[in-house]
A and B are shown apart, each in its own frame.
Chain A
Amino acid sequence: MQRKSSGFDTIVVMTLMCAFIVISLLLVATGANLYRAQRESSQSDYELRTALAYVSNRVRQSREEMTLIEQQDVQALVFPEQIGGEEYLTYIYFYNGTLNELFTRSDSEFTPQLGQSITQLGAFGFSVENGLLTVNVSSTSGQTRTLSLYAG
Chain B
Amino acid sequence: MKNNERSKSAVFLIEFLITLAVFSLACVVALRLYAKADSLQDNALRTDCASTIAATVAQELFLSGEDEQTLADYCAAAQSVSDGYSLYFSDSCTRCGQSEAAYMAVFSVERTEGSPALLNTEISVYAVQSALSAQLNDEPVYTLTAARYYPQMEVEQ
Contact = CB atoms under 8 A, between A and B. Distances in A.
B9 A9 contact: yes
B8 to A, nearest CB: 11
Interface string B22-45: 010001001100100110010011
A41 B60 contact: no
A150 B59 contact: yes
Nearest to B24: A23
Nearest to B10: A9
A25 to B, nearest CB: 12
The A contact surface, by secondary structure, is helix
B63 A146 contact: no
Contacts of B30: 27, 31
B93 A23 contact: no
Nearest to B62: A150
The B contact surface, by secondary structure, is helix
A148 B56 contact: yes
A63 to B, nearest CB: 16
A8 B60 CA distance: 75
A19 B9 CA distance: 19
A147 to B, nearest CB: 5
Contacts of A48: 48
A2 B16 CA distance: 21
Interface residues of B, number: 31
Contacts of B56: 146-148
Nearest to B55: A147
Interface of B: 2, 6, 9, 12-13, 16-17, 19-20, 23, 27, 30-31, 34, 37-38, 41, 44-45, 48-49, 52, 55-56, 59-60, 62-63, 92-94
28 contacts: A2-B2, A2-B6, A6-B6, A6-B9, A12-B13, A13-B12, A13-B16, A16-B17, A23-B23, A24-B23, A30-B31, A38-B37, A38-B41, A42-B44, A45-B44, A45-B45, A45-B48, A48-B48, A130-B63, A132-B59, A145-B92, A145-B93, A146-B92, A146-B93, A147-B56, A148-B59, A149-B59, A150-B62
Given A144-B92, A145-B52, A147-B93, 15 more contacts: A2-B2, A2-B6, A6-B9, A13-B12, A20-B19, A20-B23, A27-B31, A38-B38, A52-B52, A56-B55, A132-B63, A145-B49, A146-B92, A147-B55, A149-B59
